[in-house]
Amino acid sequence: MLKFKNAFYLPSGRVFLLETGDGFGIECTEMRDVAVDGKLHKDVRTSNDPHVIWNHLVDYKDKWLLTVSTQKGCNHKCQYCDVANLGFHGNLSVTEIQDQIKFLLESTPYMTKTQKAKIGFARMGEPAHNLYNVLASVLSLYDISKSMNRDITWLPCFNSILPRKTYEGLTGYDVIDNVLDVKENWYDGFLHFQISVNSTDENKRKELFGGADVLTIEEIIKYINKQNIKNRTVTLNFIVMKGVPIDVNYLSKIGLNGEKFAVKLIPLNNTVNAGEHSLETYANYNNYEELIVLSEKFKEKGVPVIYDAIAKCEEAGLCCGQLAQIYQKKI
Ligand code: SF4
């Protein structure tokens, strides 16, 4: 049974702090998308005025963005993530994951219908280590929304660093197989599978993942190229950081292609852990043009690119794991 502890507000949504039965603080979020094109994009991107964001929020009926936690803390120590500072205190049960989803629906009663609710099983924790509970929760999304009289088209999002061996004894390839089974056979391809890559230098990747043993990019690309992927392609996520190499030619050489993959370029949030490891973003809303230049290199190879530099959660101290950390220190 989860207990509500607190809610914190960003211009585009809320971060909730809940407590598990054994007293651990976990976070879940509900946000609205901010969408702008053309000239206005720069205004919204660079503004610190919440009114500017409020004027460009996407209607709930078009898109709703949710995240839930999958673990109490995390087994890993990624250098850019503040969940790492919490340590690992166990997997969340299916009920605990589902209860976060129900809580988010209950807390947003005016959201009765949406053509896209993107839900990331990625707030706190590495979902690969709790694979069966996470996928069972993914498979129960429609039962949950129907039982609460909501008309929701779900887009689950599974975001992983793909550890070579999981807490439950699965290989990284088993994780890919299980996620793709749910994606292709249960969601008709409409599951967003995002794999954290961050750099094309494997030694740098290992360092950034706090020493975690993960599948190499070459292993990931070669394996996924052999699978059937329909509708949504698999996304490789790169948090762009100064001095962290991203070699587009190398990725292309080892098989990256637009049939199976897309790439997402993400500015580094200004987290405590990133500061302690002297990590700096390569680009954000201040020098957005750099993201565009990098994205063009992928597009030249026929790989679609998503990039977004509006989110400024770092300025509110609401990045993943930051509230839970404050909470754990207090009890
Ligand atoms: S980025 Fe993910 S895997 Fe790494 S410490 Fe944070 S929650 Fe864990």
Ligand 1 pocket residues where CB is under 6 Å: 74, 76, 78, 81, 83-84, 125-126, 161
CA nearest to 28, candidates 122, 136, 138: 122
Which numbered atom of ligand 1 lies nearest the CA of 161? 3
**Substitution site in 83, 89, 134, 266 for ligand 1 pocket (most atoms within 8 Å of beta carbon):** 83
Q: How do residues 23-51 score in pLDDT, each as one tens digit?
A: 999 999 999 988 776 666 667 776 777 88
Give the 3-state DSSP-derived string for the chain, with helices as H, strands as E and coil as C: CCEEEEEEEECCEEEEEEECCCCCEEEEEEECCECCCHHHHHHHHHCCCHHHHHCCECCCCCCEEEECCCEEECCCCCCCCHHHHHCEEEECCHHHHHHHHHHHHHCCCCCCEEEEEEEECCCCCCHHHHHHHHHHHHHCHHHHHHHCCCEEEEEEEEEECCECECCCCCEHHHHHHHHHHHHHHHCCCCCEEEEECCCCCHHHHHHHCCCCCECCHHHHHHHHHCCCCCCCCEEEEEEEECCCCCCHHHHHHCCCCCCCEEEEEEECCCCHHHHHCCCCECCCCCCHHHHHHHHHHHHHCCCCEEECCCCCHHHHCCCCCHHHHHHHHHC
Nearest CA to ligand 1 atom 3: 126
Q: Tell me how far the alpha carbon of residue 111 lies from the centroid of ligand 1, in angstroms.
A: 30
pLDDT level of residue 239 (50, 70, 90 thresholds): very high
Asked if 141 and 158 touch (Cβ cutoff 8 Å), the reply is no
Among 85, 130, 161, residue to substitute to test ligand 1 (most atoms within 8 Å of Cβ): 161
Distance 121 CA to ligand 1 centre (A): 12
Q: How far apart are CA 20 and CA 93, in angstroms?
A: 10
Q: In the structure encoding, which two tokens stand for residue 119, read together? A: 């839900």
For residue 52, the CA-to-ligand 1 centroid distance in Å is 31
* 238 CA → ligand 1 middle, Å: 14
pLDDT of residue 48: 72
Say if residue 314's pLDDT is above 60: no
Q: Residue 198 has which token pair?
A: 């961050």
Nearest to 144 by CA among 194, 69, 91, 94: 94
Give the span between the Cα atoms of 103 and 109, in whole angstroms.
10
The predicted pLDDT at position 15 comes to: 94
Beta bridge mates, 88: 73
* Mean predicted confidence (pLDDT) in 310-330: 70
Residue from 70, 71, 75, 76 to probe ligand 1 pocket by mutation (most atoms less than 8 Å from CB) = 76
Residue 11 or residue 42, greater confidence? 11
Residue 120's closest CA among 69, 190, 183?
A: 69
Cα(305)–Cα(102) distance, integer angstroms: 33
67 CA to centre of ligand 1 in angstroms: 14
- pTM listed for this prediction: 0.94
Q: Which of 82, 103, 96 is nearest to 318 (CA)?
A: 82
Which pLDDT score is estimated for 130? 98
Angle, helices 131-139 vs 172-181, to 10°: value is 10
Which residue's CA is the closest to the ligand 1 atom numbered 4? Answer: 78
- Residue 123 C-alpha to ligand 1 middle, in angstroms? 9
Nearest-atom index, ligand 1, CA of 81: 6
State the pairing for strand pair 234-240/192-196. parallel
Measured in Å, residue 126 CA sits from the centre of ligand 1 at 6
Whether 283 shows a pLDDT value over 90: the answer reads no
The residue nearest atom 2 of ligand 1, judged by CA position, is 126
